Amino acid sequence: MNYEFTEILETIRMTEIEHFDIRTVTLGISLRDCHDRNLEITKQKIYDKILKYGKNHVKNAKEVEAQFGISIANKRVSVTPISIPFDSLTAEEFIEIAKTLDKAAEDIGIDYIAGFSALVQKGMTNGERELIKSIPFALSQTKRVCSSVNIGSTKAGINMDAVNLMSEVIKKTAELTKEKDSIGCAKLVVFANAVEDNPFVAGAFHGVTEPEVVLNVGISGPGVVLDAIKEAGKVDLQTLSEVIKKTIFKITRAGELIGRKVAEKNGVPFGIVDISLAPTPAEGDSIADILKAMGVEDVGAPGTTAALAMLNDSVKKAGLMASSSVGGMSGAFIPVSEDMGMIRAVQAGNLSLEKLEAMTAVCSVGLDMIAIPGDTPASTIAGIIADEAAIGIINDKTTAVRIIPAYGKKVGEMVDYGGLLGLAPVMEVRTISSQNFVSRGGRIPAPMRSLTN
């Protein structure tokens, strides 16, 4: 036999027992040729283009799932940051565009479409300002559209005017979607150093340097890593790092295979594999459980950041060996609401916002899916975004804030979205003020790191 008995069983165990799945196959579609002086024609062009490339996306992905016996959790689409091709539009018109995206997503059978975005790390055009203004309305009037705004980069610094604007936008979005636990905020990401080929919604967009259309893959598999660590038993950390690397290598290889096959079926070029460990609310599919298996009593205990740093680094190293097209975020995600272990750590009082912030300095994204009290002032949210962006630009990495000021809710209450978005306990935020700092506005200059030439 070409394969060892144990190898075949290992694969079966990963796919059938340990929740190994491909988290997302995301079709990136450029909308740069869709502008027209007439808004109705623009909308038609957007709709037609998404349907042209995306209409068989779900069907093709399902066929590949059956062929290889590996499930693909999400089939999604990302588009060019909407503010770029449609810079001349007004806020009202941007809402119309969002509705068009929503309709197109519905008609091709996907749950989310991402790219209602603007890149304003250095400054804002009039169109970008209008798009940002429209976000709360666009997110509250659509179901499937996701939005992201990049407010800082290592090369440009942090645009504090945009940070202040975004904190107001987040508050407004929370208010407009208050009937559904402020769900709008779960579809809105504020980035520093956003990547152009990220397949993970809500923060995905099809960057301007990307081709006409491309297929990117995001892998997952915390359950597989968790079981490998448990099986390894009491070994030193170097050995443990090897165990993690071997496991990630295998799932990255599978991810690349699936991505290439789906791309082939769609007749579009294959882009990248994002080797992120992304949790789901399912039992055992948790990053927190991995950290605990590594040895900390609970997430938040001293040592958590170091454990996470090692996990994240091992994931990257193995991924690089396994695929020559690694991209996106590529690391471990630590969203609170989507990870049962994280939720429990918050509820037990073991994990605070400040510890989470420290953890984001060594893992792939940032403060993700965190619910805070609805009466948190916008200036405090701006402070949180600025802190996170600072970690990003100084360390030359992507950071993000997806925070939910749950309208009308207080510390200890829960927001519950069901499905993959999960549920989150409202976390405590310090009440001391950031007002005088953030209201200075302007731009935090680019750090030393930017001068690499």
Partner 1 sequence: MKLSENEIRKITYETIEELGTNVSQDVIKEAVKKKIESLNNVPLSSINESSGKVILTSFGLNKPGIVAAITSALGNFNCDIQDLSQRIIGDFFTIIMILDISSSSKDLKEIQEEMRKTAEQLNIKIYLQHEDVFRFMHRI
- Binders of partner 1 among residues 75 to 114 (CB under 8 A) are none
Q: Which of 39, 257, 326, 444 binds partner 1 (CB under 8 A)?
A: 257
Contact 406, 423 (CB under 8 A): no
The stretch among 10-18, 234-242, 357-365, 430-438 that binds partner 1 (CB under 8 A) is 10-18
By CB under 8 A, is residue 315 in contact with partner 1? no
Contact 276, 333 (CB under 8 A): yes
Q: How far is the CB of 212 from partner 1 (least distance, A)?
A: 10
Q: How far is the CB of 368 from partner 1 (least distance, A)?
A: 29
Which of 155/253 has CB closer to partner 1? 253
Which of 265/355 has CB closer to partner 1? 265
Burial of 114 (0-12, 13-18, 19+ CB in 10 A): buried
The stretch among 224-232, 233-241, 260-268, 409-417 that binds partner 1 (CB under 8 A) is 260-268
Q: β-strand 188-192 against 145-153: which pairing, if any? A: parallel
Contact 192, 120 (CB under 8 A): no
By CB under 8 A, is residue 418 in contact with partner 1? no
The stretch among 71-79, 109-117, 199-207, 264-272 that binds partner 1 (CB under 8 A) is 264-272
d(CA 118, CA 151): 9
Q: How far is the CB of 112 from partner 1 (least distance, A)?
A: 24
- Give the position of tokens 């599978």: 254
Closest CA to 329 of 422, 216, 163: 216
Contacts of 442 (CB under 8 A, 6+ apart): 160, 161
Which of 202/244 has CB closer to partner 1? 244
Q: What binding mask, one character per residue, do residues 30-69 give for partner 1 by CB under 8 A, x or -? A: --------------------------x---x--x--xxxx
- The full length of the chain comes to 453
Q: How far is the CB of 246 from partner 1 (least distance, A)?
A: 11
Query: DSSP letter at 83?
Result: T
For 212, list phi and psi in degrees, rounded to 5: -50, -50
Which of 254/421 has CB closer to partner 1? 254
d(CA 3, CA 54): 37
Which of 65/368 has CB closer to partner 1? 65
The SS3 call for residue 447 is: coil
Q: How far is the CB of 257 from partner 1 (least distance, A)?
A: 4
By CB under 8 A, is residue 17 in contact with partner 1? no
d(CA 93, CA 29): 21
Enumerate the β-bridge partners of residue 387.
none
Which of 6/452 has CB closer to partner 1? 6
Which of 47/68 has CB closer to partner 1? 68
Locate 279 and state its tokens.
């949790």
Which of 63/396 has CB closer to partner 1? 63
By CB under 8 A, is residue 324 in contact with partner 1? no
Per-residue burial over 388-410, b if 16 or more Cβ lie within 10 Å, else e, is bbbbbbebebbbbbbbbbbbebe
Q: β-strand 113-119 against 72-79: which pairing, if any? A: parallel
d(CA 402, CA 450): 25
Contacts of 157 (CB under 8 A, 6+ apart): 121, 122, 393, 443, 444, 445, 446, 447, 450
Q: How far is the CB of 1 from partner 1 (least distance, A)?
A: 5
Which of 165/225 has CB closer to partner 1? 225
Which of 57/402 has CB closer to partner 1? 57
**281 alpha-carbon distance from chain centroid:** 15
Q: Which of 3, 33, 208, 283 binds partner 1 (CB under 8 A)?
A: 3
d(CA 116, CA 101): 9
Q: How far is the CB of 265 from partner 1 (least distance, A)?
A: 7
Amino acid at 378: A
- The count of chain residues that interact with partner 1, using the rule CB under 8 A, is 29
- Binders of partner 1 among residues 267 to 306 (CB under 8 A) are 267
Residues found near partner 1 in the complex (CB under 8 A): 1-5, 7-12, 16, 56, 60, 63, 66-70, 250-251, 253-254, 256-257, 265-267
